[in-house]
DNA sequence: TACGATAAGGAACGTTGTTCCGTTTGGCAA
DNA sequence: TTGCCAAACGGAACAACGTTCCTTATCGTA
C-alpha cells in the first residue's frame, strides 16, 4: 500500500514537455476519431489525426485498450460515483438501480462500438474489461444488494452477470434504428422485480 | 420469374465430382474447426484442415458468412420449424415462446462465437445477418403475436428487437463460467409478462 | 553550448481476409 | 482409348490492420 518513500506514489519523474503535449493531443484526437469512426477506428487514423507517429501512441498507451480507458475515464468515474448518490437520494433502491443502469446504458450507447469491444474476449482488451468491471461492478452490487434487502427484487443474480448482460444488450444499439437497447434493458430490469 | 426452359430452376449444370467432394470436405472441416477454435477461426485453418487451397474455399463459399450459413443451415431450419410445432403442442403461447427462445439460446451458446459474429456490423456478414433474421424473425413474430393475443405479454416489442436482444445476451456466454446467458434471457422473457 | 537521456517517426513484421493467375484434372467426344 | 478444354485447384500475392524496432531528432541541463 506504500512505496516505501514515505509519501504518495513516487511521483513519476515528470515527463518531458513534448511528451505531455503529445499525450494531450492524442487524447483529443482519439476522442474525435472515436466519435466519427467508432472505438475500433484504426490506430493509424488516430495517429494521423494527431499529426503524430505510430510509435508515439504505443509509447503513451501500451495498448489500444489503455487509450480507450484514458479517453473515457472521466465518464466512467462519474457513472461510478453516481451510484451511491442515487441510492442516497431518497428513491427506492430499485428505482435507484434503474436510474443508474440507465446512466450506464446512455453512456455505452452513445459510444460507437464501445459495448462491442467491451465484451470482446480477444486478449489485449483485458485491461479495458478489467477497468470497467473493477470500477462499476462494486457499485452495481451495492445497488443490487440494497434492492434485494428491501425485498424489491430477486436475489439470484449477481452484479457481474447483470453488468455483462446490460453491456451486451447495448451492442449495436447505435447504427440500427430498429433496435432500442434502452427498452430491452428496461425489460431486463423489470424481469428482476419480485412479485410482491 | 421463369428462365424460359419451362421447368423449375435451370438445374445448375451439375458440378464436377471433385468439386462436390471438396464442398463436402470443406463443410466437415469447417464444422470441426468451428467447434475447437470458434466461428472466427482463420480461413487458413479451415483450408489446412480440409487439405485444400485457399481459393477453393472462396470458390465454394463466396464469403465467410456463406460458409457459416452452410454449416449451420440444418440446425437453423430445425429451430425455425420447431416454432409452429411448439405453438400447436398445447402449451400456452407464452410457454411456447419461452421454450422456443430456449432452443435458440441453446443453439447459439454452443456455437463458439456465433452470437458475436451475428451482430457484427462489419460488412461481409450481411448475408449471415439476413439469413438468420429472414428465417427466424417471422417464427418469433408468430409466437409473440399469439402470446400477445392471449393477453399474456405486453405488445410493445417486436420480434426483430427481441431476437437481437436475445442474440446479444448470448455473446460470450461460452468462455465465461460466471456469465449465464440462459438466466438473463429468462429474466428478459419474464420482463415481457403482463401483470395479470 | 554540448551532451545524454527521452521521445519521436515511420519502416518493418506478423496475422488476417480476399483475389489472381498459372497449373492440374475430370468428363466427354472422336 | 485418346485428346481436348472448361472447370476446378493451389498457393503466391495483395491490402488492411495491430504492434514492434531501430534510427533520428529534441528537450532539459551542466
Q: A79-134: per-residue pLDDT in tens?
A: 999 999 999 998 899 999 999 999 999 999 999 999 999 988 887 888 999 999 99
To the nearest 10°, report the CA torsion of B104, B109, B112, B115. 60
Q: CA–C1' span, A44 to C30, in Å?
A: 63
**Radius of gyration of the CA atoms of chain A, in A:** 19
Please tell me whether any atom of strand C lies within 7 Å of the Cβ of B18: yes
Strand partners of residue B193: B153
The residue with greater pLDDT, A8 or B98, is B98
Residue A28 has pLDDT above 80, yes or no: yes
User: Could you tell me if A96 and A86 are in contact, meaning their C-beta atoms sit under 8 angstroms apart?
Assistant: yes
Q: Using CB atoms within 10 A of its CB, is residue B116 exposed (0-12), middle (13-18) or buried (19+)?
A: buried
Pick the residue from chain B with its C-alpha nearest to A179: B161
The residue with greater pLDDT, A27 or B12, is A27
Please report the pLDDT score of residue B145 as a whole number: 96
Q: Quick one: which of B99, B122, B134 has its CA closest to A171?
A: B122
Return the SS3 of A153.
Answer: strand
Best probe of the B interface among A168, A180, A192, by most B CBs < 10 A, is A168
User: Could you tell me if A125 and A117 are in contact, meaning their C-beta atoms sit under 8 angstroms apart?
Assistant: yes
Return the SS3 of B77.
Answer: helix
Q: How many CB atoms are closer than 10 A to CB A114?
A: 24
- Domains (ranges, CATH) in chain B? 1-60 (1.10.10.60), 69-192 (1.10.357.10)
Q: Quick one: which of A86, A90, A43 has its CA closest to A67?
A: A43
* Identity of the residue in A162, A171, A183 whose CB atom sits nearest the CB atom of B168: A171
Per-residue tens of pLDDT for chain B, all 196 residues: 343 343 344 566 788 999 999 999 999 999 999 999 999 999 999 999 999 999 999 999 999 999 999 999 999 999 999 999 999 998 899 999 999 999 999 999 999 999 999 988 888 898 999 999 999 999 999 999 999 999 999 988 999 999 999 999 999 998 899 999 999 999 999 999 987 6
Residue A160 has pLDDT above 50, yes or no: yes
Please report the pLDDT score of residue A122 as a whole number: 83
Pick the residue from chain B with its C-alpha nearest to A191: B191
Q: Dig out the grid coordinates for B92 from the structure.
A: 400456452
Q: Is A124 on the interface with B (CB under 8 A)?
A: no
Residues in chain B with CB shorter than 8 Å from the CB of A121 are: 172, 175-176
Q: Quick one: which of A86, A88, A106 has its CA closest to A96?
A: A86
Q: Is A171 on the interface with B (CB under 8 A)?
A: yes
The string over A149-188, giving b where at least 16 C-beta atoms fall within 10 Å of a residue's C-beta and e elsewhere, is eeebbeeebebbbbbbbbbbbbbbbbeeeebbbeebbbbb
Q: Is A126 on the interface with B (CB under 8 A)?
A: no
Q: Quick check: B161 and A178 CB within 8 A?
A: yes
Q: CA–C1' span, B45 to C15, in Å?
A: 12
Please report the pLDDT score of residue B15 as a whole number: 87
Least confident of A119-128, A136-145, A169-178, B144-153: A119-128
Which protein residue has its CA closest to C1' of D26? Answer: A18
Q: Is A189 on the interface with B (CB under 8 A)?
A: yes
In whole angstroms, give the CA distance from residue A152 to residue A137: 20
Element of type H or E holding A163: helix A159-169
Best probe of the A interface among B160, B168, B186, by most A CBs < 10 A, is B168
Strand partners of residue B153: B193
| Alpha-carbon separation of residue B139 from A81, B91, B130 (angstroms) | 44, 16, 14
Residues in chain B with CB shorter than 8 Å from the CB of A119 are: 116, 171-172
Using the CA of A67, which nucleotide's C1' is the nearest one? D18
In whole angstroms, give the CA distance from residue B111 to residue B39: 7
Please report the pLDDT score of residue A75 as a whole number: 96
How many Å lie between the alpha carbon of B156 and the closest alpha carbon of chain A? 10
Please report the pLDDT score of residue A4 as a whole number: 37
Q: Write the CB contacts of B65 (distance below 8 Å, at least 6 apart in sequence).
A: B124, B125, B126, B127, B128, B129
* Identity of the residue in A164, A165, A178 whose CB atom sits nearest the CB atom of B160: A178
D chain positions with any atom within 7 Å of a protein CB:
7-13, 16-22, 26-28
Q: Is B160 on the interface with A (CB under 8 A)?
A: yes
DSSP A7-68: SSS-------HHHHHHHHHHHHHHHHHHHHH-TT--HHHHHHHHT--HHHHHHHSSSHHHHH
Q: Which of the four pLDDT bands, split at 50, 70 and 90, describes residue A163?
A: very high
In whole angstroms, give the CA distance from residue A43 to residue A47: 6
Please report the pLDDT score of residue A1 as a whole number: 36
User: Residue with C-alpha cell 475447437?
Assistant: B36
Residue A53 has pLDDT above 70, yes or no: yes
Average pLDDT, chain A: 91
Per-residue pLDDT reduced to its tens digit, A35-44: 999 999 999 9
Q: Which of the four pLDDT bands, split at 50, 70 and 90, describes residue A12?
A: low
Amino acid at each position: 500500500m506504500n512505496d516505501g518513500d514515505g509519501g504518495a506514489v513516487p511521483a513519476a519523474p515528470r515527463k518531458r514537455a513534448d511528451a505531455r503535449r503529445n499525450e494531450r493531443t492524442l487524447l483529443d484526437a482519439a476522442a474525435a476519431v472515436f466519435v466519427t469512426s467508432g472505438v475500433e477506428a484504426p490506430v493509424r487514423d488516430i495517429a494521423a489525426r494527431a499529426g503524430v507517429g505510430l510509435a508515439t501512441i504505443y509509447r503513451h498507451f501500451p495498448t489500444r485498450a489503455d487509450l480507450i480507458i484514458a479517453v473515457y475515464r472521466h465518464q466512467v468515474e462519474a457513472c461510478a460515483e453516481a451510484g451511491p448518490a442515487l441510492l442516497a437520494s431518497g428513491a427506492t433502491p430499485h428505482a435507484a438501480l434503474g436510474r443508474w443502469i440507465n446512466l450506464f446504458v446512455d453512456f455505452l450507447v452513445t459510444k460507437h462500438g464501445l459495448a462491442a469491444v467491451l465484451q470482446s474476449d480477444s486478449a489485449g482488451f483485458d485491461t479495458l474489461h478489467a477497468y470497467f468491471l473493477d470500477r462499476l461492478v462494486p457499485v452495481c452490487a451495492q445497488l443490487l444488494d440494497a434492492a434485494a434487502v428491501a425485498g424489491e427484487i430477486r436475489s439470484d443474480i449477481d452484479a457481474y452477470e447483470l453488468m455483462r448482460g446490460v453491456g451486451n444488450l447495448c451492442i449495436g444499439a447505435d447504427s440500427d434504428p430498429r433496435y432500442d437497447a434502452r427498452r430491452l434493458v428496461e425489460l431486463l430490469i423489470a424481469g428482476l422485480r419480485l412479485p410482491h
